[in-house]
Structure 1
């Protein structure tokens, strides 16, 4: 045996002993700790709650080339692509719209507005399908879906103001919305901005009582609620600044709570999209657990939720040109994919170059976003962002470009997971204010250069002051691998900080190529700092397997 082979055999044996001897985190095993430091079950995130693989075969394949799409001819393919998309709306069954290999040019929005539909390319790599978008969304006709947002931006004079840079510019409607490929239910509102657009919802039941983490709760006034329906559970704060739901979200932590938590009592402050499994008198059983307990003061209810199902976007590359950066929130709309009103759907195997935002989301649930690469020289706002979503799994996202918010849980997001993701440039594990709670960064790797004081704001949270604090209780970081690129000659610990208003977070297994200290406030639970969790590298996988074994 060669010395090299012997070395690697010894190294492998040592790793086996390390794994065997490693302590299982006490937050999983110690009853006292689990009672005082709640660890949510994140295993329901993803397509069909992670219980089935993403589908491949569909009933019918429709070739885009049959509608005049021609790759690599240097001509705009928008009209032909829209024609093909329109034709598939009228086709029954499960449809794949197959794009050809080569480069297509797209200068119009492709709205996906039907269920049981896949937009499929020939691959994201060499020899695959590239969709090149020469112009940003700001040069297209303004979409009906953003009418309310546009009015809101003007009414409240939303502007990016940077005196030091001589910037005073209106926000773009595309700063956090829209995409060149865009899923929507036509005519259905996605996000409330102005009260005058509010309409009465179809209330299916009032929810009177339920416990956090449970799937059965009590209801009254049931009306047209059916087993198998996917509906929206809504909880409200109608009790003002001292509302009990605020205490439940932030556990009475010493954090400043922004005014949006009580200024809009007719809008839900917590929402979950849920599937009805059982109706037994006044008891309802849903597929996924409650994020917080339900009390009479929350005036909780189940309402109709219109959405698309079994929609896929896969195997393609979306490219934008190099473009100068103007300012934050003034992005012109080089946005690749926008997902709204989806359930049990997916995006996979997509490379996105030079986007302002790669994948934007709003009001989706049970969606898997997998094997995504973002790159390019433009400074992005978001890569793959989660906003107002529930049980979404982002798996194996690779971020090679600089972004303001590389990984971001945004307003109203709950029980979502970034798993096995890697950020190579200026990483931030962002939690973006707005009652988002119980989200998971799972087995994430980041590469960073520390500041002169040997610190790095890895946990910096964004968001407007009226939606602070940065997150609710029980956000979780599991097995975070931090690779420091500089200051290797300094013996002192690296300080990871940036979060001052994130109550009761769980940080387990933060480790890397340096020794780290963590400053995360207030009241975090920190365990196995500077330990790689070899035994349980992914909390999501561990919880999912445990749940599947039980069933």
Structure 2
């Protein structure tokens, strides 16, 4: 609806604002200080996200063993494939007992095989991303490389469930690619360690280290029963289960009032798999009382059959200071990506990716089963339309900071299945922005200090807050996903009195939207039971919720 009558503009604005408030919830007004002190609607503490829980800067030791790639046969700018030489230096790096840094030379290096990081305390370092920096050119998509054994289960799953991308109007009827949301030319892994469950026949009982009967959400201490080897300093995984089906209390814990929400069947069809999971570092153990570093995601009661399991992972893995370039290729369709994927992070803790440019990728950085990782100073670019930039799937306490998205991407910023307590901070999207929440029990995540540039649709609206994902994992997110200080730059020419509707979703319960504003007046549609405050206000007093919470925690 386009409004040109100045006399009617204010009336319509108030009407739309009333509709927004009614649609979101019946709300009270709170000050910023009340909101951040949780004297109003509950807002999670996001300050534990990132490397070393946000408490330490990434720093490389002076006494680290350095392996120069040129000593193993890597020659930049000679237009020859460097894969074998890079594999040799990686093999050597995995034999060194001490912390090791692989140093790449400046110039263009050609890579046509996957480089696997399979040890802790390893860093891959380039000479930077400028004109005199390091560029790694990957001429082939992963579909032309050897099938990774790690994705065997996924391949079987895609065939067994007949996963087909169907777009009749575009004459597309093609099988899903295993590289649509998995795999990368730089791949962290523990060989043989499963990162995601697809088929029941591959399920194995993990090593259970203890059980928990009762604890409050936000607590950092609880009693553990049946302790089978918990130790101070361990990083373990806490798991919550739904054993009660469609009427389970854990669904109300996740989604609030579920009467008018369509809950997907994966929430109760796989009772042997956890519905909520959290990686936790043990700080102290006193008798049977365990203290962990970061707060519990949610309440624990006997019905949830909460247990602590061994969590295999790498630590202190760093990837930094180079550009990854793929050749331009036409996009085929959603879910049939060829595998021009940059980095795939799995099974890492207290690790990082920093100062990396990725050009013409299907997906820049993909993640699964990682915790307390910082991904910062990343730029994605190119003429090809991508699937993901830096995607967060199966992550806990991960921080994506200073991500700049210059290419067209289906899901520019995306919280995916099982993402919790993770943060996009100070990111900017220049083309067709979407703040995606991709179903699969993702909850308590934060979009913080985000800038987006967009052209509105013909009806003066834009679907900024949206959710993808499969129907069996709906709703689009669970409770307490938060948007804080979202700046919208409208690119198309509009008159000052026009109102722009930023549309959310109808199945995103208990979201918190604080400080959505731009160069045009905005109204927000987001349901159900969202808290919406400080619309059309730049929150200058507390521009970043993450930084505010972190500073307050460290001070205390």
1:501 aligns with 2:533: no
Native 8 Å contact 2:123 2:318 kept in 1:
yes
1:187 aligns with 2:192: yes
1:407 aligns with 2:413: yes
Deviation at 1:32, TM superposition (A): 12
Aligned residues: 526
* CA distance in 2 between partners of 1:255 and 1:64 (Å): 55
1:40 aligns with 2:44: yes
* CA distance in 2 between partners of 1:264 and 1:526 (Å): 35
Matches within 5 A, 1:58-137: 58=62, 59-137=64-142
* CA distance in 2 between partners of 1:539 and 1:192 (Å): 34
Gaps of 5+ in 1: 1-24
Native 8 Å contact 1:343 1:364 kept in 2:
yes
Could you tell me the TM-score, scaled by structure 1's length? 0.94
Matches within 5 A, 1:141-220: 141-220=146-225
* CA distance in 2 between partners of 1:293 and 1:115 (Å): 33
Matches within 5 A, 1:214-363: 214-253=219-258, 254-363=260-369
* CA distance in 2 between partners of 1:26 and 1:102 (Å): 54
Deviation at 1:535, TM superposition (A): 1.1
Change (3 A) 1:27 1:310: farther
* CA distance in 2 between partners of 1:454 and 1:33 (Å): 36
Q: For 1:174-193, what per-residue CA distance to the aligned partner results, in whole angstroms no more than 9, with x for missing partners? A: 00000000000111010000
In the alignment, which residue of structure 1 is the partner of 2:17? none
Matches within 5 A, 1:423-462: 423-462=429-468
In the alignment, which residue of structure 1 is the partner of 2:59? 55
Q: For 1:74-127, what per-residue CA distance to the aligned partner results, in whole angstroms no more than 9, with x for missing partners? A: 000000000100011010111110000000000000001010000000001210
Deviation at 1:407, TM superposition (A): 0.1
Native 8 Å contact 2:70 2:105 kept in 1:
yes
Change (3 A) 1:31 1:55: closer
Change (3 A) 1:345 1:535: same
Give the aligned CA root-mean-square deviation in angstroms.
1.3
Deviation at 1:27, TM superposition (A): 6.2
Q: For 1:528-547, what per-residue CA distance to the aligned partner results, in whole angstroms no more than 9, with x for missing partners? A: 11110111100000000000
Native 8 Å contact 1:27 1:37 kept in 2:
no
* CA distance in 2 between partners of 1:308 and 1:386 (Å): 18
Deviation at 1:35, TM superposition (A): 5.2
Deviation at 1:252, TM superposition (A): 1.5
Could you tell me the TM-score, scaled by structure 2's length? 0.93
Q: For 1:469-526, what per-residue CA distance to the aligned partner results, in whole angstroms no more than 9, with x for missing partners? A: 0111110000000000013226221100031111111101111111100000011111
Gaps of 5+ in 2: 1-28
Native 8 Å contact 2:504 2:527 kept in 1:
no
In the alignment, which residue of structure 2 is the partner of 1:516? 522
